[in-house]
């Protein structure tokens, strides 16, 4: 509905697009190719492989505003996002499965997403994340959420109560900081938090319990 074409029928790229309120009825590749995208409010619905409004849209920079409440499955799958700005995403509660799979994110700061509870399976699979800050409200990090990145130092806040299988697999982990005692971590966190299944068994990262997040 929003795709523009030249006189030869080729899609035109949109350099900057601001959506004040996201509409669930937006169709597959409704916006064509977008370089810089801002979404200020709305619920970004679930898609599926190859079927979402921003699938393969060549997005490089994405900013989500304070009115965005959730990011659906496959929402931004297969773009070129290197800059993801969640500074104002204070209403965001859920990041869906494969929402940002196959992008180029190198730094991810979730600090300001102060209502974020769930990071879905494969949400950030196959990026280039080397710096990760998880919001102190996150409770669930689902399976393969950060598979295949470049994370060396990982800090997990006390709010996390579930770590899924392979959540941080294929990362060059060296140090894991946990804002819980070892006893609390082993007895109160569900999933695969206490096995080598959630990180590369070929690595031997240092675990720091009772870590204080500054």
pLDDT tens-digit series, residues 34-57: 899 999 998 887 766 656 778 788
Q: What is the DSSP letter of 72?
A: -
Give the burial class of 15: count Cβ atoms within 10 A of its Cβ; 0-12 exposed, 13-18 middle, 19 or more buried. Answer: exposed
Return the pLDDT at 1: 45
User: Residue 210: pLDDT above 90?
Assistant: yes
Q: 146 and 120 in contact (C-beta within 8 Å)?
A: no
pTM: 0.89
Mean pLDDT of the chain: 86
Q: Which of 63, 116, 123 is nearest to 97 (CA)?
A: 123
Weakest mean pLDDT among 21-25, 60-64, 141-145? 21-25
Q: What mean pLDDT comes out for the span 108-118? A: 97
């Amino acid at each position: 509905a929003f795709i523009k074409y030249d006189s030869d029928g080729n899609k035109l790229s949109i350099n900057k697009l601001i959506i004040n309120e996201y509409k669930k009825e937006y169709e597959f590749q409704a916006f064509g190719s977008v370089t810089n995208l801002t979404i200020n409010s709305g619920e970004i619905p679930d898609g599926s492989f190859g079927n979402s409004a921003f699938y393969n849209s060549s997005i490089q920079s994405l900013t989500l505003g304070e009115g965005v409440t959730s990011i659906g499955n496959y929402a931004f799958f297969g773009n070129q996002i290197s800059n993801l700005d969640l500074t104002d995403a204070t209403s965001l509660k859920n990041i869906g499965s494969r929402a940002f799979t196959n992008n180029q994110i190198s730094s991810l700061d979730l600090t300001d997403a102060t209502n974020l509870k769930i990071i879905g399976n494969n949400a950030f699979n196959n990026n280039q994340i080397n710096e990760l800050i998880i919001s102190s409200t996150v409770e669930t990090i689902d399976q393969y959420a950060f598979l295949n990145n470049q994370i060396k130092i990982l800090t997990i806040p006390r709010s996390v109560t579930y770590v899924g299988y392979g959540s941080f697999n294929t990362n060059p982990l060296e140090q894991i900081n946990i804002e819980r005692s070892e006893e609390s971590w082993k007895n109160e966190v569900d999933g695969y938090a206490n096995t080598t299944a959630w990180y590369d068994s070929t690595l031997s990262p240092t675990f720091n319990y009772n870590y204080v997040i500054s």
